C-alpha cells in the first residue's frame, strides 16, 4: 500500500511539472502600460503583478515560465 501511495505521489509531482513551459529569449520591448514584454522573435507575454518591469532591460536575456494549460505567465527571471 505504501509503495502505491509513493508511486502515485511521485507521478503527480511529474504531472504538475509537465504543465509549465520555459521560454528563453532576448527582450526587444517592454510596455509598462500594458505590462507586455516582447522578445526578439516576436513572442509577447503579459507579465504578472509583482514583476518589476523597470528591472527588465531591452537586450537582456530572460526566461519566461508559462502555465501550459492557461497560458498565464507565472515567472520571469534573468537567463544565465
What's the confidence (pLDDT) of residue 36? 94
How many CB atoms within 10 Å of residue 45?
21
- Burial zone of 53 (CB within 10 Å; 0-12 exposed, 13-18 middle, 19+ buried): middle
Per-residue confidence (pLDDT) for residue 69, from 0 to 100: 83
pLDDT truncated to tens, each residue of the chain (80 aa)? 555 544 544 444 545 455 788 999 999 999 999 999 999 999 999 998 888 999 999 999 999 999 888 889 999 999 98
Fold of 20-78: OB fold (Dihydrolipoamide Acetyltransferase, E2P) (2.40.50)
What pTM did the predictor assign? 0.72
Query: What are the domain boundaries of the chain?
Result: 20-78
Q: What is the spatial distance between Cα 71 and Cα 1, in angstroms, rounded to a whole number?
A: 37
- Name the grid cell of 47: 507579465
Cα–Cα dist 25/63, whole Å: 7
Q: Can you name the residues that pair with 78 across neighbouring β-strands? A: 62
Amino acid at each position: 500500500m505504501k509503495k502505491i501511495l509513493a508511486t502515485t505521489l511521485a507521478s503527480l509531482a511529474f504531472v504538475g511539472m509537465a504543465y509549465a513551459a520555459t521560454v528563453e529569449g532576448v527582450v526587444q520591448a517592454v510596455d509598462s502600460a500594458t505590462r507586455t514584454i516582447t522578445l526578439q522573435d516576436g513572442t509577447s507575454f503579459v507579465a504578472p503583478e509583482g514583476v518589476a518591469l523597470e528591472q527588465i532591460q531591452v537586450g537582456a536575456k530572460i526566461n519566461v515560465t508559462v502555465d501550459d494549460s492557461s497560458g498565464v505567465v507565472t515567472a520571469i527571471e534573468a537567463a544565465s
